Amino acid sequence: MNFLRPTLLTLACLMALPSHADDLPSLGDASSAIVSPQQEHQLGRAWLSLLRGNVNQLNDPQLKDYVETSVYRLAETSQLQDRRLEFILIDSRELNAFAAPGGIVGVNGGLFLNAQTEGEYASVLAHELAHLSQRHFARGVEAQQRMQLPMMGALLIGIVAAAAGAGDAGIAAIAGTQAAAIQEQRRFSRQNEQEADRIGILNLEKAGYDPRNMPTMFERLMRQYRYDAKPPEFLLTHPVTESRIADTRNRAEQAPKGGTEDSKRYQLIRARVALIYEGTPGLAAKRFQAQLDENPQQDAARYGLALAQIKGGRLNEARENLKPLLAKAPNDITYNLAQIDLDTTNNRLADAQQRVERMRGLYPGNYPLQQARIDLLLKQNRPAEAEKALDALLKNRPDDPDVWYDVAEVRGLSGNTIGLHQARAEYFALVGDFDQALQQLDYAKQRAGNNFVLASKIDARQRELMEQQRMVKDMMR
């Protein structure tokens, strides 16, 4: 990991500037004149590519699909006008979620470990979307013109360091920042937080959730981390106080009861995340088995146990645990994906393929199912068909570096060397390494030889990436 690149720090400093305005921004306000929505979009994509190159990520298709689907559900009823969202799932068990300018939504794995219900999870994301919809970044730029924040760079270094996994360094940098600057920043942050809470509660209700989930989440976090010397990053940037809890509770209680509090799918996703952060599949299996012993009807625990057994090579036991789940819900996509994984791992490829085809009839556009089919095709030594399936997947996920990574691997297996270098170039561009991306296109162009049409196409893409690289450097001077 390239720890805290100067360009990333500069962009992070812009991202976290505090807000001074109380009223909601309008299309003609000063903040829009200083930083336009399109500039925010470009800034956010630049920041995302750099962040991807600096933190470890969770690449589980089912987890990615859940986060994207749930956030878009919230966005549909939010005040967010520009819904060109991009996501990053950070491989960290620390509690955190954030929204960056330009529609970047980040979620740590630790959010699922701490949010015990879907409503609690949604309350955090609704709050973050409110930061985006109210354009707190652009309004912060406007506010910064009217005040001086000495040592702001040191404060932001701490925030980025913590996001990159260096919690101790991050907290030390925050503690070392001048007290007056921190006090001023917190004053403006409280305004933003109150506004995001208020807008987030309204959005939760409109999206069909019970808004009482927000104060419930805050109350539990305050109890859990009240005496911690090193609280999680989310609580450093979103301080939870008694007055804040009381305010959100009062607002939430005005809404009628009856909204969604939890869902089976969320609990299944939580089981997947819990497995990721267990030390070994054996330890995970023991934990899920203990939950089942306590409540034999807990489907999420049985599902987690089956996943742990697949991962630990206890395939017959996994099959027995999946049977009652599939008998209860034969068309459930999550259970069927687990069975496909089991059959593929157990080399029962014909069974896996039959199930994949049946599920494709029910869920033709499902991203995790598409990925499972690609994995199965590779296991069957059918790289040409896998490449075709990945090309189809790219139409819906053209900015997903995980997909481009797979495309490069499959093109290499099928002997498509030029396509391999082109795919690697797209992958490197998406993770902010433009030099490597341009080098891969040089390799592709050398292979193109006398194919003038292909060489011209590669030249054009090189020019586009060089322009992106120049634009990123200009934005972050």
What is the distance between the alpha carbons of residues 106 and 62, in angstroms, rounded to a whole number? Answer: 16
Is 91 assigned a catalytic role? no
DSSP letter at 209 equals B
Cα angle for residues 114, 118, 121 (degrees, 5° grid): 50
The amino acid occupying position 405 is: Y
What is the per-residue DSSP string for 432-468? Answer: T-HHHHHHHHHHHHHHHTT-HHHHHHHHHHHHHHHHH
3 state DSSP class of 86: strand
User: Residues 6 or more apart from 161 whose CB is under 8 A from it?
Assistant: 3, 4, 167, 169, 170, 173
Taking the model in full, what pTM does it have?
A: 0.85
Kindly state the tokens that stand for 288: 């899920």
What is the distance between the alpha carbons of residues 406 and 420, in angstroms, rounded to a whole number? Answer: 10
b/e sequence 217-250, b meaning 16+ C-beta within 10 Å:
bbeebbeebeeeeebbbbbbbbebeeebbebbbe
Of residues 234 and 441, more confidently modeled: 441
Q: Which of the following is catalytic: 40, 197, 332, 343?
A: 197
Least confident of 167-181, 203-217, 405-419, 450-464: 167-181
On average, the pLDDT of the chain sits at 82
Residue bearing tokens 């750099």: 50
User: Which of 279, 278, 280, 326 lies closest to 302 in space, CA to CA?
Assistant: 326
The CATH architecture of the domain made up of 381-476 is Alpha Horseshoe (1.25)
Q: How far is CA 82 from CA 76, 101, 107, 467, in A?
A: 11, 11, 20, 24
What's the rounded mean pLDDT across residues 293-315? 97
3 state DSSP class of 108: strand
Per-residue pLDDT for 262 more than 90? yes
Least confident of 77-86, 369-378, 462-471: 77-86
Of residues 467 and 339, more confidently modeled: 339
Kindly state the tokens that stand for 36: 């336009």
What's the rounded mean pLDDT across residues 137-161? 40
Per-residue pLDDT for 194 more than 90? no
- Residue-level pLDDT at 351: 98
Per-residue pLDDT for 57 more than 60? yes
Per-residue pLDDT for 21 more than 90? no
Q: Which of the following is catalytic: 128, 332, 400, 426?
A: 128
Centre a 10 Å sphere on the Cβ of residue 76 and count the other Cβ atoms it contains: 12
Of residues 42 and 285, more confidently modeled: 285
- Residue-level pLDDT at 173: 43
Least confident of 13-17, 151-155, 368-372, 473-477: 151-155
Per-residue pLDDT for 38 more than 90? no
Per-residue pLDDT for 152 more than 70? no
What's the rounded mean pLDDT across residues 175-201? 61
What's the rounded mean pLDDT across residues 237-264? 89
Per-residue pLDDT for 213 more than 70? yes
What is the per-residue DSSP string for 383-413? Answer: HHHHHHHHHHHHHH-TT-HHHHHHHHHHHHH
Model confidence band, residue 477 (pLDDT cutoffs 50, 70, 90) = low
Model confidence band, residue 154 (pLDDT cutoffs 50, 70, 90) = very low
Is 197 assigned a catalytic role? yes
Are the beta carbons of 459 and 445 closer than 8 angstroms?
A: yes
- Residue-level pLDDT at 216: 93
User: Which of 319, 366, 309 lies closest to 339 in space, CA to CA?
Assistant: 319
- Residue-level pLDDT at 35: 55
Highest mean pLDDT among 14-18, 108-112, 231-235: 108-112
Cα angle for residues 242, 263, 357 (degrees, 5° grid): 145
Report domain extents, the chain. Answer: 37-164+186-254, 381-476
Of residues 430 and 15, more confidently modeled: 430
Task: Outline where DSSP puts E strands in 64-151.
Answer: 86-90, 97-100, 104-108
Q: Where is the binding site, in residues?
A: 127, 131, 193
Q: Where is the binding site for Zn(2+), in residues?
A: 127, 131, 193
- Residue-level pLDDT at 144: 46
Are the beta carbons of 141 and 35 closer than 8 angstroms?
A: yes
Percentages (nearest 5) of helix, strand, coil residues in the chain: 70, 5, 25
Model confidence band, residue 165 (pLDDT cutoffs 50, 70, 90) = low
Of residues 64 and 53, more confidently modeled: 64
